[in-house]
Amino acid sequence: MSSAAAGLPLGSDCGEALDALGRASRIVLSTHHNADGDGAGSEAALAMHLAGRGKHVRIVNPTPFPEAFAFLLDDASRVLPVGGQEAADACREADLAVVLDTSEAKRIGPVHALIRHLPAVVIDHHPAGADGISGIVVRDTTAAATGEMVFALLERDGAAWTPQMAAALYTAVLTDTGGFRFSNTTPTCLRTAARLIELGAAPHDLHRRVYGSFRRRRFALLQESLATLEVHESGRVAWMIVPGAAYGRTQASVEDLEGFVDVPRSIRGVEVALLFRVAKDGQTKVSMRSGAAVDVNQLAAAFGGGGHPRAAGAVLPEPMEEAVRRVVGAVVGALAE
Ligand code: 5GP
Ligand code: MN
């Protein structure tokens, strides 16, 4: 239900959200942990828009702002580390919180405790999960990216577009559609992208920065991970494991995992692809991707996670081997239904 070019029917909450943004003077922005291009780009663009309106804006995320997307921030966008005094002060003194690209309290981790006393605007394209953040929720599950929704909101707000704002939202849409390849690549999303190019986003340059500027260590990590690639005997499920010890050997980090899940996904006949990695405290993180066969959002929700029907994830409490067995078992079961 969103139209970039026309009337921008983001729902009735859209007007309320803009009113709340208009009234506020000190605003804290946040997004889910391990911010992706959509979370980071949406934050960057909204921060520039609000700062341009004379608002005091700070970004407080549960994990550090991703290095790969730091180029999207302008000089005025201040990111405050979550554990620090400055972040605590900014949240105490704020009069509004804006949460982008998630609506679940647990996805913003320690930030939730810092902002729960504030009125909140939530802008998200995920289906509602359990444990929702309360406030004015602007939700459009048909939007390819939260950045597409932010674009529509800013258009409606009469934004004074700069090339940097356009670049941030273009990057949001680019990354959440996997470079305009995934099933969420709609006419609306491409119209939004086209408009953002007219407003100054440079597709070639942004593509190079996002998909043509990987560090060598990413490929060292990929090399070790490829050795674990497995396809289930049915041929319909494939998975890859990022060996925990490989991080140390390669100096790589979770920021280097962009696109890894595309390896099992790109195998002929595979309907569900999984990427497993070690998470903190001996837990296991799984990323899930699906064709049309299975709703992986539902599957992930059964493990306490969530996401979209075709791209989801969860953190399981058990160590790698057990987690792989349990998740692969659940996927095979779901495919048999
Ligand atoms: P990725 O696999 O790229 O980390 O995430 C794919 C999609 O699943 C994203 O939309 C992301 O928000 C969602 N997702 C990934 N991990 C989790 C998780 O642990 N919990 C929830 N609720 N969603 C997740
Ligand atoms: Mn997103």
Per-residue DSSP letter, 128: P
The per-residue pLDDT of the chain, averaged, comes to 95
Q: Please indicate, yes or no, whether residues 170 and 316 belong to a single structural domain of this protein.
A: no
What angle do the packed helices 13-23 and 146-156 form, to 10 degrees? 70
Last residue of a domain, one of 211, 239, 256: 211
Q: Which amino acid residue places its CA nearest to atom 22 of ligand 1? A: 306
What is the tens place of the pLDDT at every residue in 228-238?
A: 999 999 999 99
Q: Tell me the mean pLDDT in the region 284-290.
A: 98
Q: Which amino acid residue places its CA nearest to atom 10 of ligand 1? A: 307
Q: Please indicate, yes or no, whether residues 164 and 245 belong to a single structural domain of this protein.
A: no
Q: Please indicate, yes or no, whether residues 45 and 180 belong to a single structural domain of this protein.
A: yes
Last residue of a domain, one of 166, 195, 211: 211
Q: Best mutation site among 32, 106, 261, 298 for ligand 1, i.e. most ligand atoms within 8 A of its Cβ?
A: 32
User: What's the rounded Cα separation, in Å, for the pair 255 and 271?
Assistant: 25
Q: Please indicate, yes or no, whether residues 59 and 180 belong to a single structural domain of this protein.
A: yes
Q: Tell me the mean pLDDT in the region 24-51.
A: 98
Q: Determine if ligand 1 sits within 6 Å of the CB of residue 306.
A: yes
Whether this model's pTM surpasses 0.95: no
Percent of the chain with pLDDT over 70: 96
pLDDT above 80 (res 1): no
Q: Which amino acid residue places its CA nearest to atom 23 of ligand 1? A: 306
Domain count, the chain: 2
Instruction: For 49-78, give one letter per residue: b (16+ CB within 10 A) or e.
Output: bbbbbebbbbbbbbbebbebbeebbeeebe
What is the tens place of the pLDDT at every residue in 50-93?
A: 999 999 999 999 999 999 999 999 988 899 999 999 999 999 99
What is the tens place of the pLDDT at every residue in 149-200?
A: 999 999 999 999 999 999 999 999 999 999 999 999 999 999 999 999 999 9
User: What's the rounded Cα separation, in Å, for the pair 127 and 118?
Assistant: 23
Q: Tell me the mean pLDDT in the region 112-138.
A: 96
Q: Please indicate, yes or no, whether residues 223 and 180 belong to a single structural domain of this protein.
A: no
Amino acid at site 58? R
User: What's the rounded Cα separation, in Å, for the pair 274 and 260?
Assistant: 10
What is the tens place of the pLDDT at every residue in 38-52?
A: 999 999 999 999 999
Which ligand gives the minimal distance to the CA of 43?
2
What CATH number corresponds to the domain at position 291? Answer: 3.10.310.30
What's the pLDDT score for residue 76? 81
Q: Determine if ligand 1 sits within 6 Å of the CB of residue 312.
A: yes
Q: Tell me the mean pLDDT in the region 285-301.
A: 96
What's the pLDDT score for residue 10? 63
Edge to edge, the sheet with strand 230-231 lists 230-231, 237-242, 272-278, 284-290, 311-316, 306-307
Number of the ligand 1 atom closest to the C-alpha atom of 36: 3
Contacts of 163 (CB under 8 A, 6+ apart): 199, 200, 201, 202
The domain containing residue 154 runs over which residues?
3-211
- CA 144 vs. chain centroid, Å, equals 11
Q: Please indicate, yes or no, whether residues 206 and 225 belong to a single structural domain of this protein.
A: no
Last residue of a domain, one of 211, 237, 271: 211
Number of the ligand 1 atom closest to the C-alpha atom of 126: 10
What CATH number corresponds to the domain at position 43? Answer: 3.90.1640.10
Q: Which amino acid residue places its CA nearest to atom 19 of ligand 1? A: 314
